Structure 1
Amino acid sequence: MPRFAANLSMMFTEVPFLERFQAAADAGFAAVEYLFPYDHPAEEVAAARRDAGVEQVLFNAPAGDWAAGERGLACLPDRQEEFDRGLETALHYAEALDCPRIHVMAGIPRPGGELDAAGRAAAREVHVRRVRQAADAAAAAGRRVLIEPINPVDMPGYLLDSMREGRDVLEQIDHPAVGLQLDLYHAQITDGDLTRLIRSAADVVEHVQIASVPDRHEPDGGEIDLDHVLGVLDDVGYAGWVGCEYRPAGETRAGLDWFHRRAGSGRADRRGSGA
């Protein structure tokens, strides 16, 4: 059975961010992930992680003005300097948190509008170049970079909008320090056929995330058979973490029966190491 990491951007929001590490540990999670840690100094976040005794397995590099709708800088041609600063910041936090992976978000190249073929090709060229740059820096620091396809319902206009697109871009990037982040919530919406998708992408997937579809609540509801897809991950030899990137339908702990049934207390997982 895969090991589960609590997503602290969505789970345990009943308490302030720095308290969520201990809340996740108390609930039985051995690891955490989240979108962004940058509202707090790296040393404070690292202390919260250390005190809770959980592993940090993933977070995102700075993604621009999130409140204004930006979702990454990697494909935006006029944001090189900001991308450089963000990458430096992300690597600083990754070192402090002993985090092996950073998700570099592609971005929305034309907010509110459609890209023609030429525009998409130009955006992809910038994206490929920036991810290679990030991967060079990450590899030098002993880290890895992930890219993630995101569905166009939740994030209209995002450059990587399907697993097929993600695989194509990954091949174009062609860098040993870059892998694919497979969010089964997004993949069910964009691609479907999750069994074949997991099997076909097993060689490049380095992190998996789960949530129910269509509501993005606890992952044992909706149209995805959680036990089946977890079994497929076992079958293909996936040894990484499964991030619980879902919005609890109610209070977080009240909705964790699915987790305890499949992971027990989770404490035994602490002996494991991230993929």
Structure 2
Amino acid sequence: MNPVPRLSLNQETIKQWSLPELVEGCVKAGVTGVGLWREPVQRYGVQAAAELVRDAGLTVTSLCRGGFFTAIDPERRAAALADNRAAVDEAAALGTGTLVLVSGGLPAGSRDLFAARERVADALARLAPYAADHGVRLAIEPLHPMYAADRCVVSTLAQALDLATRFPADQVGVVVDTYHLWWDDTVAAQIARAGAGGRIAAFQLADWITPLPEGALLGRGQLGDGSVDFRWFRERVDATGYTGPIEVEIFNPDLWARDGAEVLTEIVGRYRELVL
């Protein structure tokens, strides 16, 4: 099948597939990139996964995830850094230059967002040189503000860039994820800022659907089922000179309950209709 321009499929979007099924399905559908997650890759074997993807002619566009840097306890901070160095090693073995970072939420009992973000900056300072030595760029992903307390104190693209720009652009970039950023009326200016500085490390798509399911974490929508104008985002990201992959990353139990090939066919169709 003819390749679908720039489309990458994140592994979690069709979670019901094994890694070999993911690779086979993408090849059949003309999808040339995959975004991988550490846990299923570890279960399969990092080197085995790297060989499987490479032998199929696919590119690993990102590895998710590192991060969770906001702990106050020194032992927990040291453990987080050690885990992130392992994530860098895995990304390098898989042949991807992008390790997605979710910064971490507020520690128990803390209400100090500013101090938490500074601990993220401190961790980046320790980790970025190591990642650079392995050919991996750290990609800070801002998450919607509803996740600030428990998952990610970096809520806007501006906040992500304020952290990233403390470091060389080839070491630390940002993720532009439509699900997390569609609501922000400054996002066009921040995308331009990110592009001007060479900071866009990944561009990810998922829709915002309402009502949000309980917990919201697994409430990302299929392209076209919600409120996001994907072409608007793609045009603004492209205008910065970004020509990299466009990764569909959806967490949704309704999609996981369906036939994987059917879901991927639907994604490809909607991607062509709504994104290109």
Asked if residue 186 in structure 1 is aligned to residue 216 in structure 2, the reply is no
The residue matched to 1:131 in structure 2 has which SS?
helix
Contact 2:100–2:138 at 8 Å: present in 1 too? yes
Question: Which one-letter code corresponds to 2:64 in the other structure?
Answer: N
Which whole-Å CA distance do the structure 2 matches of 1:240 and 1:181 have between them? 12
Judge conservation of contact 2:224–2:270 (CA < 8 Å) in 1.
no
Counterpart contact for 1:151–1:186, Cα < 8 Å = yes
Structure-1 residue corresponding to 2:26: 24
* Identity within the alignment, %: 22
Alignment coverage as a number of residue pairs: 248
Classify the secondary structure of the residue corresponding to 1:39: helix
Shift of 1:145: 0.8
1:219: how far off?
1.8
**Structure-2 separation of matches of 1:9 and 1:86:** 21
TM-score by length of 1: 0.79
The CA deviation at 1:148 is 0.7
Query: In the superposition, relative to structure 1, how do residues 260 and 162 fare at CA in structure 2: closer, same or farther (>3 Å)?
Result: same
Q: Are residues 50 and 106 of structure 1, via their aligned partners in 2, closer, same or farther at CA, if it must alter by over 3 Å?
A: same
Amino acid at match of 2:143: I
- Residue matched to 2:216: none
**2:121 & 2:232 partners in 1: Cα distance?**
34
Distance between the aligned counterparts of 1:27 and 1:156, measured in 2?
39
- Secondary structure of the residue aligned to 2:138 is strand
What is the alpha-carbon distance in structure 1 between the residues aligned to residue 270 and residue 107 of structure 2?
Answer: 44
What letter corresponds to residue 27 of structure 2 in structure 1? A
Are 1:58 and 1:102, in contact at CA under 8 Å, matched by a contact in 2? yes
1:170 aligns with 2:174: no
Which of 52, 61, 83 is residue 80 of structure 2 equivalent to?
A: 83
Structure 2 vs 1, CA of residues 74 and 140 (structure 1 numbering), >3 Å: closer, same or farther? same
Q: Aligned pair in 2 of structure 1 residues 159, 2: CA closer, same or farther (>3 Å)?
A: farther
2:142 aligned partner, one-letter code: P
Query: What does residue 93 of structure 1 align with?
Result: 90
CA RMSD of aligned residues (A): 2.6
Say which SS state the counterpart of residue 229 (structure 1) adopts.
helix
What is the TM-score of this pair, normalised by structure 2? Answer: 0.79
Q: 5 Å matches for 1:15-164? A: 15-36=17-38, 37-62=41-66, 72-78=67-73, 79-111=76-108, 115=111, 119-153=112-146, 156-157=149-150, 158-164=152-158
Please name the residue that 1:259 is paired with: 268
1-structure distance, mates of 2:242, 2:55:
29
In 2: Cα distance, 1:39 partner to 1:240 partner? 28
Over 3 Å counting, the alpha-carbon distance change for 1:159 and 1:198 in structure 2 is: same
Offset at residue 262 of structure 1 (A): 5.1
Q: Is the 8 A contact 2:192 2:236 kept in 1?
A: yes
Question: Contact 1:8 / 1:21 at 8 angstroms: preserved in 2?
Answer: no
Whether contact under 8 Å (2:7, 2:245) holds in the other structure is: yes
Counterparts of 1:156 and 1:121, CA distance in 2 = 12
1:177-208 Cα deviation digits (max 9, x unpaired) = 1001111110014x246544433432322211
Query: What's the counterpart of residue 6 of structure 1?
Result: 9
Indicate if the aligned counterparts of 1:22 and 1:51 stay in contact, CA closer than 8 A: no
SS at match of 1:93: helix
**C-alpha contact 1:34 1:59 (8 A) present in aligned 2:** yes
8 Å CA contact 1:2–1:240 kept in 2: the answer is no
